[in-house]
Structure formats: structure tokens, C-alpha cells
Amino acid sequence: MTSLETALRRVRASGRTALVPYVMAGVTSDWTRLVEAAVHAGADAVEIGLPFSDPIMDGVVIQEAALRSLAAGTTLDSVCAELATLDVDAPLVAMTYYNVIHHYGVERAAHAFAHSSLRGAIIPDLPPEEAAPWERACAQNDVATVYLVAPSSPPARVARLAHATQGFAYAAARMAVTGSASDLGDARRVVNALRSVSDIPVYVGIGITTPDHAREAAQFADGVIVGSALMSLVLDGAGTTRVESFVRDFRRALDSTSTP
């Protein structure tokens, strides 16, 4: 089992609903402080966006964050170097697109991730059918390959994805790109489909924008992912204090429902 999964299973075993905020690396010059603020406010893991020029699963907020980050000169190497200076007590999971990894080299990338505390990776345009080289590289470096499951995934694919995913399964609440929805959509159905074939932790993303959504999702999921709502604040100039209070509001909402 990957160390990411061990850590996240431990969160679940403690009776806590996992909170996973998303921070686009390089979106501001002090982005690593934002990661620290999120963890300080109660994040159990943090998704670290590595920017790509053509993010087809992302809506306007993450697109804009990626453009700002790229304009500032962010690269896979620069992100890994900055993460190496970070000391947070929560696992980090990369979120990027396959070309960034493919171009860098799958083995080099998995190695670089492992040496900068990135313990998993979500690559939405890399389905398991195309992922064999990446999965091998990750296995050698204790990097978890996290797969998304969509509301449109038929039962056989849900089973396949549940089997392939490591760390947690990412249940997309909606047929939508990030940041375009603001409700739980089909989340419960997707989570239940995963539960019927696997006991891996299941986190809900795409549509979680308020603490109320998080509280509702906590009733059936093991964790929630909050991306565009947080990045939207950061794009509008929010600093560590604002990020911390935003994440803490979600933490309180989740804790108000968790059963120890």
C-alpha cells in the first residue's frame, strides 16, 4: 500500500472527514505559505496544481491560476524545489496534465515527486488504459496514482478505476469541469458505486464550494476536495490569513458531522 493511502486510511479510522484544499503552485510568489496556512487550518492533505497551458478539465478559475503561474515561470523543477523547503504535516498530491509529466519523463517525474513530498498524483487526462509506464514509475517511488470516477462511468469502469486508484478515489460530483458547478450533483451515487466494489477512501470534488456542501458530503464520503472556490479567493488577492479562515470554516463544518 502506498504511504499516501496508509495516511488517508488513518484519517478515516480516526473518525475524521478528510479536507483536501487545492493550491496552484506558483499562483502567487508566496504560494507555499498558502499551503502551510491550509494545513494549519486543518487540511488533511493538499492538492498541488502543476500548471499546464491547456487544462481541459478545468474551468476559468483554475485556468487563470495556471496562466498566472506559467507567466511567473513555474516549472515542475521549480515546484519541486520550493516544496522541498516546506515542512507540513500533511501529504501533498500533485494535480496536473499528462504532457507535463510525459515531456519531463515519467521516471524522472515520479522520482522528483517522491523527493519533494508529493506522495500522489492526479492526472485527469491519463486513463488507466494509457498509464502503464507512469504506474510503474510511481510504484518504484511510492507515489500514488489517483483516478477520477465520473457520474457517467458504467459499473465495469467504476470497478476497474476503484482497483487502479491508490490513496483515494476521486469521485466527481458532476459532469463538469472544475469550478463550474456549485452543488453535490450525483456525488452520492458515484460514492456508493465505488463503495460497492472497494473500501478505498472516497473523496468528493467538483462542486464543493461552501462549508454546507462539505457538511452534506461528509454524510456519505470520506473526504472533500475544494479547489476553485479557494483559488478564486487567491486570484482576488487573499493572503494566508484569509486562506486559513476559509479552510477553517470547512474544517468546522466537517467536524460538526464527523462521528469519532
Partner 1 sequence: MTDLFMGPPDERGRFGDFGGRFVPEALMSACLELDEAYRDARVDETFARSLERELSLFAGRPTPVTPLERLSRRLDLRVFAKREDLAHTGSHKINNVLGQALLAQRMGKHRVIAETGAGQHGVATATAAARLGLACTVFMGEVDTKRQELNVFRMELLGATVVPVTSGSRTLKDAVNEALREWVTCVADTHYCIGSVMGPHPFPWMVREFQSVIGREAAHQLRELGVETPDVVVACVGGGSNAAGVFAGFAEGTSRLVGVEAAGGSAVGVGSPGVLHGMRSLLIQDEFGQIEEAESISAGLDYPGIGPEHAYLAARGRAEYVTAHDDEVIAALQVLSEDEGIIPALETAHAVAWLLREAGRSIAPGSTVLLNLSGRGDKDVAQVRALIRGES
- Rounded CA-CA distance 244/157 in Å is 37
Q: Is 58 tagged catalytic? A: yes
Q: How far is the CB of 60 from partner 1 (least distance, A)?
A: 7
Q: Does 177 bind partner 1 (CB under 8 A)?
A: yes
Q: Does 63 bind partner 1 (CB under 8 A)?
A: yes
Catalytic, out of 5, 58, 64, 244: 58
Instruction: Give residues 92-111 in contact with partner 1 (rule: CB under 8 A).
Output: 97-104
How many angstroms separate the Cα of 91 from the Cα of each of 14, 47, 66, 160, 252?
Answer: 16, 9, 22, 25, 20
Candidates 42, 124, 185, 205; binder of partner 1 (CB under 8 A) is 124
Q: How far is the CB of 56 from partner 1 (least distance, A)?
A: 5
Closest CA to 208 of 191, 194, 193, 229: 229
Candidates 6, 14, 54, 196; binder of partner 1 (CB under 8 A) is 54
DSSP-assigned states of every residue in 9-26? HHHHHTT--EEEEEEETT
Q: Which residues contact 158 (CB under 8 A, 6 or more apart)?
A: 149, 190, 193, 194, 197
Q: How far is the CB of 49 from partner 1 (least distance, A)?
A: 14
What's phi and psi for 23, nearest 5 deg? -130, 125
Give the residue numbers marked as catalytic: 47, 58
Contact residues for partner 1 (CB under 8 A)? 52-57, 59-60, 63, 67, 70, 75-76, 97-104, 124-127, 129-130, 147-154, 157, 161, 172, 175-177, 180
